[in-house]
Amino acid sequence: MRRKNKRIMVTGGAGFLGSHLCERLLEQNKEVLCIDNFYTGHKQNVIHLMDHPGFELIRHDITFPLYVEIDEIYNLACPASPIQYQRDPVQTTKTNVHGAINMLGLAKRTGAKILQASTSEVYGDPMIHPQPEAYWGNVNPIGLRSCYDEGKRCAETIFFDYHRQHGVPVKVMRIFNTYGPRMHPNDGRVVSNFIVQALQGKKITVFGNGNQTRSFCYVDDLIGGMMRLMNTNDTITGPINIGNPGEFTIRQLAELVLEITGSRSTVEYLPLPQDDPMQRRPDISQAKRLLDWQPTIQLREGLERTVAYFDRLLDDQPTSVPMKSALLVD
């Protein structure tokens, strides 16, 4: 018998996206079980939730089975930036594949609905623009990014096989570049790196000529789309793109960050990393039609909120945050 208030498990719940999701679920009077091994997540992201009566935190690596009773699972656990997922590529693949198998096994046993946080990286360096869900992608299966790209593609495969073979109710969303408060200042994502570099008066590191394009979705919009997908009827499985279709070059992003921060930093151009996609923009037609969802927060507004967050974060730290080179992907 289901509980009056759903008990919802969020893997990767102490991460950037996971912590925002936990917060939003608690606002809706759900019981939240936050699972994280703290490889890239941080307890500080959820410390303000620890006294909430509906919140529980368990330190656990989902590459190992977990035996709990839950009603829904949001599977967000996985390093999501190149610096993080290339640090231990074998573990990244295990998290994507073994983690998906373990969470699907839990969903099968408990009858829980389960959502997989997939990624726009399944499209690789796309030959179709913008990218619709029907596009199969252009991915290097043996490159430096493959642990993440192919790991997420394999996770999608396993999700749909469990759905077809065992009747597990699944949801798959493909997340496009997302930004906002609680991003780690040194995780290698382009928005956080540009902001921190600008606030510290360091050179803005742009890879290639800066003409690569990305679409940037503010975290509040993304979480809204994620929850809307989970709460649709079970016939809507996805995959569904969730992101902001506004398209900007990396050079435009750098210029906007410099304008908002008022920084005098200059831009430094560096060689393009292996397999870095040249274009990335979601076709969100399905999200509009099936979920009645589209983003509402535009890039300038979202960046202003994110700059304010990092400004406070850096002011609270006794020394400047050491920066690594910025890569241009999720």
- Given strand 72-75, what is the order of strands in its sheet? 55-59, 31-36, 7-11, 72-75, 113-119, 170-175, 240-242
* DSSP 8-state code for residue 128: S
In Å, what is the CA distance from 234 to each residue of 71, 149, 168, 169, 171? 14, 26, 10, 6, 8
Residues 6 or more apart from 184 whose CB is under 8 A from it?
16, 40, 42, 192
- 187: nearest Cα among 45, 90, 82, 271: 82
Residues 6 or more apart from 255 whose CB is under 8 A from it?
none
Structure tokens at 79: 């390093």
Phi, psi of 31 (to 5 degrees): -85, 130
**One of 74, 85, 123, 148 is an active-site residue; which one?**
148
- 67 counts as catalytic: no
**Catalytic sites, residue numbers:** 148
